[in-house]
Chain A
Amino acid sequence: DIQMTQSPSSLSASVGDRVTITCRASQSIGKYLNWYQHKPGKAPKVLISGATRLQGGVPSRFSGGGSETDFTLTISTLQPEDFATYFCQQSYSIPWTLGQGTKVEIK
């Protein structure tokens, strides 16, 4: 199985901060990498697909980068509604595997 390692596991930030989350794959996965946002009690929401493609309706302050083994999710200017857990998912090979999540908390 491909292991997906996210860092950090949690972070504290203020509204207006720039936040970057990283996801590393244990082997090359090209651009088969998706990012999701998850708030407690809610359904997860896809933000980025194919490493860099912003999904419809997702604010442009979210961006994705990287390829092969190293990927990033950046929130350029953190907003109050962005406090949530973010996780990555590879769809290069079955079984799909996901990062353990990064919890973004209010400082």
Chain B
Amino acid sequence: QVQLQESGPGLVRPSETLSLTCSVSGGSITNNYWNWFRQTPGKGLEWIGHIYNSGSTNYNPSLNSRLSMSVDTSKNDFSLRLSSVTAADTAVYYCARSIVTSDNFVMDVWGQGTTVSVSS
């Protein structure tokens, strides 16, 4: 079955760019929506945004100005870039696949999450 694995640096300096990749195994990255979520300490999960394999995206407006997502179909992975990070971006970041049934976007496969700390 499809499995997802996040990867990237665990520590990012303030004002720099956070870059994460989610590798998709056991299935193709085509014809699905691919999401990023994060969970900050003591808070619930926040949806960051999603990308379709065609490259079309929807981002959370709260992060839109700093956010970029991309898909690499040759590597079967997708990526997140969040610029100008601050301590408020310290979180566990998750990638997830969503399937659409009757217009309902359901996250049916998730990664285990990767912790990113923003600190000098």
Contact = CB atoms under 8 A, between A and B. Distances in A.
Interface string A1-14: 10000000000000
Contacts of B60: 95
Contact of B44 (A55, A96, A101): A101
A64 interface: no
Q: What bracket does the count of chain B residues touching chain A fall in? A: 20 to 34
A101 B113 CA distance: 17
B104 A44 contact: no
B75 interface: no
Contact of A89 (B4, B103, B107, B111): B107
Contacts of A94: 58
A100 B43 CA distance: 6
Given A43-B111, A43-B113, A99-B44, A34 B106 contact: yes
Nearest to A55: B108
A80 interface: no
A59 interface: no
A107 interface: no
B44 A44 contact: no
Best-buried of B96, B104, B108, B112 by chain A (most CB within 10 Å): B104
Contacts of A83: none
Nearest to A42: B112
A36 B107 contact: yes
B111 A98 contact: no
A65 interface: no
B32 to A, nearest CB: 14
Contacts of A43: 4, 94, 109-113
Interface of B: 4, 37, 43-47, 49, 58, 60-62, 94, 96, 101-113
24 contacts: A32-B103, A34-B104, A36-B107, A42-B112, A43-B4, A43-B94, A43-B109, A43-B110, A43-B112, A43-B113, A46-B106, A49-B101, A50-B104, A89-B47, A94-B58, A95-B47, A95-B49, A95-B60, A95-B61, A96-B105, A98-B44, A98-B47, A100-B43, A100-B44
Would you list the 5 A-B pairs with minimal beta carbon distance, nearest first?
A100-B44, A43-B110, A91-B105, A96-B47, A95-B60
